[in-house]
Amino acid sequence: MDRKKELKQLYKEMKVEAGVYQIKSIKNQKILVASNVNLKNLNGKKFQLKSGCHDNEMLQKEWNDFGEDAFVFEVLEVLKKKEEGYFNLKEELKKLEEKWIEKLQPFGERGYNKLKSDND
């Protein structure tokens, strides 16, 4: 098998993990707490920031001002899937993300998340 096919096969065999992560500014300690059904996709989030098209305007502005080296991406928790019974991945991931947002309170001077209004 050639190297390209081998790498592609290894990628397919890698376990997909859902979880909660943070993007943290080393300059001001502000964080964005978010979740993803595939934590391997965090490079895509970094690519969005490098391209200037991340949907969080405040984070994007500070990324542009401080530069890539001023930010770190960290996985906070990997979602543990139930072995038996009903399991709704998106619902459980949302609960896990809410737990971390409640714990870290990444709002205002502390972070890039926006407080949810009663209408959301």
CATH number of the domain at 66, please.
3.40.1440.10
Here the tokens at position 108 are: 């205002």
Report if residue 7 sits inside a domain: no
Q: Give the domain extent around 97.
A: 17-108
- Per-residue pLDDT of the chain in tens (120 residues, 90 and over written 9): 588 888 777 766 767 799 999 999 999 999 999 999 999 889 999 999 999 999 999 999 999 999 999 999 999 999 998 777 888 999 999 999 999 999 999 999 999 999 876 444
Would you state the pLDDT for residue 58? Answer: 97
The CA distance from 96 to 35, in Å, is 8
Domain count, the chain: 1
Report if residue 5 sits inside a domain: no
Report if residue 48 sits inside a domain: yes
Burial of 32 (0-12, 13-18, 19+ CB in 10 A): buried
Would you state the pLDDT for residue 117? Answer: 67
Would you state the pLDDT for residue 69? Answer: 97
Report if residue 82 sits inside a domain: yes
Report if residue 102 sits inside a domain: yes
> What's the pTM?
0.83
Report if residue 10 sits inside a domain: no
Question: Rounded to a whole number, what is the largest CA-CA distance in the chain?
Answer: 56
3-state secondary structure of 74: strand
Report if residue 46 sits inside a domain: yes
Report if residue 67 sits inside a domain: yes
113, 90 in Cβ contact below 8 A?
A: no
